[in-house]
């Protein structure tokens, strides 16, 4: 373990996890979410799309797929102890960075007032990164800092909607190539797997899948005295 690496020291009271598609959080941070929710943290999910292109079936109906995937996300969230899921229903695969969409993310940050925000690392050097993940992470970062904390940014939310500025303490970015913050999820691995099981439209929950996920989280924990970890890039605000 290098001196920059940190192991989770405190569990926030409130958290907002922002994903591009239903199942993003299950891969990226569901162990952490389960652990925090168990400890009393109020966690909410914000989904930018509802994954309406997440199929290899060319005859699939995107609206039906959206319905199925939102229900799967709700079920996964319930398993983890997440309080609510907000679905913005943008089109899967077509997320574009815009000031309007950033404003929508700012609105949710101002509404839920999370101490910690979790999302994709948009700067990771993964050349096969889903473009929606990159846009999602950049929106999360830019909404948290500085937009949500500045009263003249999206001022109508404050004047007309009764929201107030909010400064999150930190972001934890998953899918990163530069992890420096690790959460021990050994005690909640069963809940992480239960949340995966809630997405039958997306993967076959077989031994291969279980072994692949276990190996990934064992590798994250290699330098520590616990067995399974989730890894993040820590951004203090
Ligand atoms: Zn995704």
Q: What is the pLDDT of residues 23-47, one digit of tens each?
A: 999 999 999 999 999 999 999 999 9
Nearest to 20 by CA among 87, 114, 112: 87
φ and ψ at residue 73, rounded to 5 degrees: -65, -40
Query: How much is the pTM?
Result: 0.96
pLDDT per position as a tens digit, 80-104: 999 999 999 999 999 999 999 999 9
Instruction: Give CA–CA dist 91/178, Å, rounded.
Output: 29
Residue 8 has pLDDT above 90, yes or no: no
CA of 139 to the centre of ligand 1 (A): 15
* pLDDT recorded at residue 140: 98
Do the domain assignments include residue 66? yes
- The answer to whether residue 148 scores a pLDDT higher than 90 is yes
- Predicted confidence (pLDDT) per residue in 70-81, tens digit: 999 999 999 999
Residue 2 pLDDT > 60, yes or no? no
1 within domain boundaries: no
Measure 155 CA to ligand 1 centroid, in angstroms. Answer: 31
DSSP assignments along 186-215, one per residue: GGGHHHHHHHHHT-TTT----HHHHHHHHH
Q: 4 or 232: which carries more pLDDT confidence?
A: 232
- Cα of 110 vs centre of ligand 1, distance in Å, is 24
10 CA from centroid of ligand 1 (Å): 27
Distance 71 CA to ligand 1 centre (A): 16
Looking at residue 5, what is its pLDDT? 81
Residue 69: pLDDT above 60? yes
Ligand 1 midpoint to CA 218 (Å): 22
* pLDDT one-digit tens code per residue, 50-64: 999 999 999 999 999
Please check whether residue 65 lies inside any domain of the structure. Answer: yes
The domain containing residue 43 runs over which residues?
6-236
Q: Which residues contact 82 (CB under 8 A, 6 or more apart)?
A: 17, 33, 37, 43, 44, 45
Q: What is the pLDDT of residue 203?
A: 87
Positive or negative: CA dihedral 113, 50, 145, 40: positive
**Residue-averaged pLDDT of the chain:** 96
- Domain for residue 207, yes or no? yes
Whether residue 181 contacts residue 188, with contact meaning beta carbons closer than 8 Å, is answered with: no
Going by pLDDT thresholds of 50, 70 and 90, the confidence category of residue 3 is low
Using CA atoms, how far apart are residues 160 and 154, in angstroms rounded to an integer?
10
pLDDT score of 1:
46
CA of 69 from ligand 1 middle (Å) equals 12
Residues with CB under 5 A from ligand 1 (ion): 20-21, 24
CB atoms within 10 A of CB 184: 20
Which pLDDT tens digit goes with each residue over 149-201? 999 999 999 999 999 999 999 999 999 999 999 999 999 999 999 999 999 99
Q: How many domains does the chain have?
A: 1
Would you say residue 206 has pLDDT above 50?
A: yes
**Does residue 13 sit within a domain?**
yes
Output the CA 227–ligand 1 centroid distance in Å. Answer: 26
Q: How far is the CA of 55 from the centre of ligand 1 (A)?
A: 12
CA of 22 to the centre of ligand 1 (A): 7
Task: State the CATH number of the domain containing residue 170.
Answer: 3.40.50.10320
In the reported structure, the alpha carbon of residue 191 is separated from the centroid of ligand 1 by a whole-number distance in angstroms of 20
47 located within any domain = yes
What is the arrangement of strands in the sheet containing 181-184, beginning at the earlier edge strand?
Answer: 6-7, 181-184, 229-236, 170-174, 116-120, 14-19, 42-49, 84-90
């Amino acid at each position: 373990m290098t001196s920059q690496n940190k192991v989770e020291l405190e569990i926030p009271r409130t958290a907002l996890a922002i994903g591009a598609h239903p199942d993003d959080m299950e891969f990226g941070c569901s162990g952490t979410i389960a652990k925090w929710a168990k400890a009393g943290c109020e966690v909410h999910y914000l989904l930018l799309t509802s994954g309406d292109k997440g199929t290899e079936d060319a005859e699939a109906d995107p609206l039906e797929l959206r319905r199925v995937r939102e229900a799967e996300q709700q079920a996964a969230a319930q398993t983890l102890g997440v309080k609510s899921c907000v679905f913005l229903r943008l089109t899967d695969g077509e997320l574009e960075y815009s000031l309007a969409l950033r404003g929508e993310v700012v609105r949710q940050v101002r509404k839920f007032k999370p101490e910690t925000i979790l999302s994709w690392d948009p700067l990771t050097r993964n050349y096969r990164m889903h473009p929606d993940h990159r846009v999602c992470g950049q929106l999360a970062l830019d909404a948290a800092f500085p937009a949500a904390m500045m009263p003249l940014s999206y001022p109508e939310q404050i004047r007309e909607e009764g929201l107030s500025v909010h400064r999150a303490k930190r972001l934890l970015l998953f899918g990163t190539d530069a992890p420096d913050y690790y959460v021990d999820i050994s005690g909640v691995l069963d809940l992480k797997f239960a949340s995966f099981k809630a997405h039958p439209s997306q993967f076959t929950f077989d031994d291969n899948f279980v072994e692949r996920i276990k190996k990934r989280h064992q590798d994250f924990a290699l330098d520590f005295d616990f067995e399974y970890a989730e890894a993040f890039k820590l951004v203090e605000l």
